[in-house]
Amino acid sequence: MSTDEKFENAKDKLGGQAKEGFGKVTGDKETESEGQTQQGKAEIKDKLQDARDTVKGAVDGIFGKDKRD
């Protein structure tokens, strides 16, 4: 996973947490739910990117590609 992808996902998670917290404080269930959804999407992106990196590593290992190349 690239650094940019990690940063974007972390930013989405924090934004979702802020939105969820704001919704809780103000009693706005819709905003709270949007924050939870935003956090969930960021988590899914993390998992998909981790899976992609795992597959890429396995393929590179099968075909003998060295990470130093």
Query: pLDDT digit string (tens) for 6-59?
Result: 889 999 999 999 999 999 999 999 999 999 999 999 999 999 999 998 998 888
Instruction: Check residue 63 and give its pLDDT.
Output: 87
**Is 65's pLDDT higher than 90?**
no
More confident site: 65 or 7: 7
CB 46 within 8 A of CB 12: no
d(CA 58, CA 31): 41
Place of tokens 């739910």: 33
- Reduced to 3 states (helix: H, G, I; strand: E, B; else coil), residue 11 is helix
Phi, psi (degrees; rounded to nearest 5) at 34? -60, -40
Q: What residue ranges do the domains of the chain occupy?
A: 3-58
**Is 66's pLDDT higher than 80?**
no
